[in-house]
A and B are shown apart, each in its own frame.
Chain A
């Protein structure tokens, strides 16, 4: 299967700071997604971004499919941004399922 590497594994930010999370894939993927797992364990869809750049409020994401990586930008972080951020992608062959990274745990302190 696809190996997914996320960095950094842990991140502590002061409220208001900006951050960049990275996701590298061992092989070409389709249907790349970013998720936020909140402190209650719920997985929230942030972006469906097979390629290009998308923005949603203070969050934006860029996927460079040819180089097998994706970036998630968080600007003006808030305490509610705390949680674990996962990226995931589907291989171009085989089963139609997502391969997940182990996540970046973000803690935003006031």
Chain B
């Protein structure tokens, strides 16, 4: 199994509070990604990183920010959580070549 750890695995938070999800890898892969999974939508990209301090937006980035200060850690922050951000969040990593992606176990976030 690829060495990817997401924390926390489950979280319930209140509307308007900030939330940070962490993804930690031990594979030294260049690329890291945050996806969200919602019924009827499959997985959609929120943000991704192509190196330390190098990040870019995905298709559903509104309301989210990310940071990558070390190769092994990629943080996803919800500045002010809303109920529409209730979802399952997956972190993924991939190398330079081949670029096969591997996923973490997911974080179930509920915003009440």
Taking the nearest CB of chain A, how far is it from the CB of B85, in angstroms? 18
Residues on the A chain within 8 Å of B92, using CB: 98
Instruction: Encode B87-101 as 1/0 by CB contact (under 8 A) with A.
Output: 010101010001111
Interface size on B, residues (CB 8 A): 27
Flag if A97 contacts B98 (CB, 8 Å). no
Interface residues of A in 93-109 (CB under 8 A from B): 95-98, 100-103
Interface residues of A in 75-106 (CB under 8 A from B): 86, 88, 90, 95-98, 100-103
Flag if A97 contacts B58 (CB, 8 Å). yes
Query: Which of A1, A33, A102, A103 contacts B101 (CB under 8 A)?
Result: A33
Taking the nearest CB of chain A, how far is it from the CB of B36, in angstroms? 11
Flag if A95 contacts B41 (CB, 8 Å). no
Query: Which of A31, A42, A96, A102 contacts B106 (CB under 8 A)?
Result: A42
Taking the nearest CB of chain B, how far is it from the CB of A87, in angstroms? 10
**A73 within 8 Å of B (CB atoms):** no
Give the interface centre of B44, B98, B103 by most chain A CB atoms within 10 Å.
B103
How many residue pairs link A and B with beta carbons under 8 A? The number is 55
Interface residues of B in 20-75 (CB under 8 A from A): 31, 33, 35, 40-45, 48, 50, 56, 58-59
**B105 within 8 Å of A (CB atoms):** yes
Interface size on A, residues (CB 8 A): 22
Taking the nearest CB of chain A, how far is it from the CB of B86, in angstroms? 15
Task: Report the nearest A residue to B108, measured CB to CB.
Answer: A41
Taking the nearest CB of chain A, how far is it from the CB of B2, in angstroms? 8
Residues on the A chain within 8 Å of B108, using CB: 41
Flag if B90 contacts A95 (CB, 8 Å). no
Using a CB–CB cutoff of 8 Å, the interface residues on chain B facing chain A are 31, 33, 35, 40-45, 48, 50, 56, 58-59, 88, 90, 92, 94, 98-103, 105-106, 108
List 12 additional A-B contacts (Cβ < 8 Å) besides A31-B98, A97-B45, A98-B43.
A41-B88, A42-B105, A45-B102, A95-B58, A96-B31, A96-B48, A96-B99, A97-B48, A98-B33, A98-B45, A98-B101, A100-B42
